[in-house]
Amino acid sequence: MILSAHDTPIPMTSRKSGPLKGVANVPGDKSISHRALILGALCVGETRITGLLEGQDVLDTAKAMAAFGADVERLGDGEWRVNGVGVGGFAEPENVIDCGNAGTGVRLIMGVMASTDITATFTGDASLRARPMGRITDPLALFGAQSYGRQGGRLPLTIVGTKNPVPVRYTSPVPSAQVKSAVLFAGLNTPGQTQVIEAEATRDHTERMLAGFGAEITTEKTDAGNIITLIGQPELTPQDIVVPRDPSSAAFPVCAALIVEGSDVLVPNIGLNPTRAGLFISLQEMGADLTFENPREEGGEPVADLRARFSPQMKGIEIPPERAASMIDEFPILSVVAANATGKTTMRGVKELRVKESDRIDAMARGLEACGVRVEEDEDTLIVHGNGPGSVAGGATCVTHLDHRIAMSFLCLGMAAQKPVSLDDGGPVATSFPIFEGLMAQLGARITRDNR
Ligand code: S3P
């Protein structure tokens, strides 16, 4: 049995709810929050961050930045100050760095420290210790860093950083912003030009934020994909960062509103970077009543207010594999919407879901089946057969495998199912969306913690 990262599992149940009505102010973007703390730690001087996600994943990155020598302070709700050590200035941590549940945290930090003359050992919870790290240590070895992990390069893992990093031109074998970002971060303290080539575009927050902090970085779009070039050893300048709200968190109240009868929910100020917006395009193709109000730009990222209304007319669709990267974290909640739409929704090119916080294809397939939904899967595909609004039977306990997005997806499923949907452990929700229960209750959701 996998033991929970938090001390005791928190069983939860979600019951037929609604209508969901009101305004949902979701927390700050997880990807941008990790990067804001890390880049702040790489500047000499004070970076101010507002709207930081205070989920456990990001708090673990804040702790790690302090362990590498930055001065990190919480000033108030989502307000943080980082006094950094400069590029190449990381100090050797005195203890093991525990990144909890956060793949983004551990992989990006390994990238930064690999090109400095220090050694660090990383670990995490049972979910993170099961995830592949060879995809990071392979390119870091090209810079000259050595790594010693468990079989398959899994955590706990020690990286011996290199004193004399050599620049790298790396073609990423997997569509992963974490791999791309780890290579670019290692390139920061490397003389010369570091290049990453990605066949499929993945989220580009690292590139945008590095440019914002003053690094020289370009992206060339070619037939072979994006070629990203970073000039090493820049002097980064401290910034004031306003973190936009997370589209991956917005996905939960938006999708719940689409499937719960009579709902009308406004989710303001959502980051709509095109490398993250695949879910919303797919929902519109399904026929969702979803509108983008007040489109504008904030802090270098496109944002808008999302409005979602109950959409009984939604139909199953084919999601093309080239869209997968732009909605990689949203397939669990999309499969919940698909179960409430009419017809078959086919998600192809999704094998990366098998190495997320859990095997998300397996976790969703088993839970949906237990709730009476017909599902097909292969290594790289998930197919959900929907029978229309209100058709999901429910009445099962779903296993969350320490995975926040699996937990929130099944809680949303329960809001529109005939019988309650329970979770073995809702505790993981706190990694990315600590205010989820309260926010959803305010909209009209019926979620309870079950004392066993
Ligand atoms: C992230 C990248 C994605 C995503 C994760 C956050 C990031 O992972 O699933 O939640 O912030 O770079 P991969 O890069 O492994 O696809």
CA-to-CA distance for 76 and 73, rounded, in angstroms?
9
Residues 186, 139 contacting (CB under 8 angstroms): yes
Give tens-digit pLDDT for 200-227: 999 999 999 999 999 999 999 999 999 9
* Per-residue model confidence (pLDDT) at position 260: 98
* Per-residue model confidence (pLDDT) at position 452: 62
> Following CA atoms 219, 274, 234, 103 in sequence, which dihedral angle do they give, to the nearest 10 degrees?
-110
Distance 176 CA to ligand 1 centre (A): 6
Distance 320 CA to ligand 1 centre (A): 19
* Per-residue model confidence (pLDDT) at position 320: 96
* Per-residue model confidence (pLDDT) at position 84: 98
Distance 178 CA to ligand 1 centre (A): 5
* Per-residue model confidence (pLDDT) at position 4: 42
Confidence bin at 85 (pLDDT 50/70/90): very high
Q: Which of 4-13, 230-239, 441-450 has the lowest mean pLDDT?
A: 4-13
Residues 183, 194 contacting (CB under 8 angstroms): yes
CA-to-CA distance for 441 and 425, rounded, in angstroms?
18
Residue 435 has which token pair?
């205010």
H/E stretch holding 46 reads: strand 44-50
CA-to-CA distance for 161 and 147, rounded, in angstroms?
9
* Per-residue model confidence (pLDDT) at position 2: 36
Residue that is written with structure tokens 């490398």 in the block:
275
Give tens-digit pLDDT for 259-292: 999 999 999 999 899 999 999 999 999 999 999 9
**What do you get for the CA distance between the two ends of the chain, in Å?**
18
In the 8-state DSSP scheme, what is residue 355?
A: G
Residue 331 has which token pair?
């397939």
Which is higher by pLDDT, 402 or 152? Answer: 402
- Write the DSSP assignment of 199-245 as a string of letters: SS----HHHHHHHHTT--EEEEEETTEEEEEEESS------EEEPPB
Give residue ranges with CB within 6 A of ligand 1. Answer: 31, 104, 176-178, 181, 202-203, 328-329, 352, 356
Residue 267 has which token pair?
């989710």
Confidence bin at 126 (pLDDT 50/70/90): very high
Task: Give the position, in ligand 1's atom list, of the atom nearest the Cα of 206.
Answer: 12
Q: With H, G, I as helix, E, B as strand and everything else as coil, classify residue 324.
A: helix
Residue 234 has which token pair?
């820049």
Ligand 1 pocket mutation, candidates 176, 209, 228, 327, criterion most atoms within 8 A of CB: 176
Neighbouring C-alpha atoms within 13 Å toward the C-beta of 251? 32
pLDDT (average), residues 362-388: 98
pTM score, whole prediction: 0.97
pLDDT (average), residues 129-154: 97
Give tens-digit pLDDT for 161-201: 999 999 999 999 999 999 999 999 999 999 999 999 999 99
* 173 preceded by a cis bond (ω within 30 of 0): no
By C-alpha distance, which of 367, 368, 384 is closest to 376?
A: 384
In angstroms, the Cα distances linking 182 to 38, 104, 131, 174, 228 are: 12, 9, 16, 13, 13
- Which are the catalytic amino acids? 329
Q: With H, G, I as helix, E, B as strand and everything else as coil, classify residue 303.
A: strand
Task: Give the position, in ligand 1's atom list, of the atom nearest the Cα of 178.
Answer: 14
Strands (E), 214-341: 217-222, 225-231, 240-242, 264-271, 289-298, 301-309, 318-319
Which runs of consecutive H residues, i.e. helices, occur in 76-204?
A: 103-114, 126-129, 134-143, 177-188
* Per-residue model confidence (pLDDT) at position 300: 75
- Work out the number of other CB atoms within 10 angstroms of the CB of residue 216: 12
> How high does pLDDT run on average in the chain?
96
pLDDT (average), residues 91-97: 98
What is the side-by-side strand order in the sheet with 79-85? Answer: 71-76, 79-85, 44-50, 240-242
**Does the pLDDT at position 243 exceed 50?**
yes
Please give the domain boundaries of the chain with CATH numbers for all domains: 12-28+244-449 (3.65.10.10), 30-232 (3.65.10.10)
**Does the pLDDT at position 1 exceed 90?**
no
- Write the DSSP assignment of 384-432 as a string of letters: EEEE-TT------EE--TT-HHHHHHHHHHHHHSSS-EEES--GGGGGT
Distance 325 CA to ligand 1 centre (A): 9
By C-alpha distance, which of 428, 322, 341 is closest to 392?
A: 341
Residues 190, 183 contacting (CB under 8 angstroms): no
Give tens-digit pLDDT for 298-335: 877 899 999 999 999 999 999 999 999 999 999 999 99
How many secondary structure helices (H) and strands (E) does the chain include? Answer: 13, 24
pLDDT (average), residues 396-412: 98
By C-alpha distance, which of 372, 428, 421 is closest to 398?
A: 421
- Work out the number of other CB atoms within 10 angstroms of the CB of residue 437: 21
Task: Give the position, in ligand 1's atom list, of the atom nearest the Cα of 181.
Answer: 12
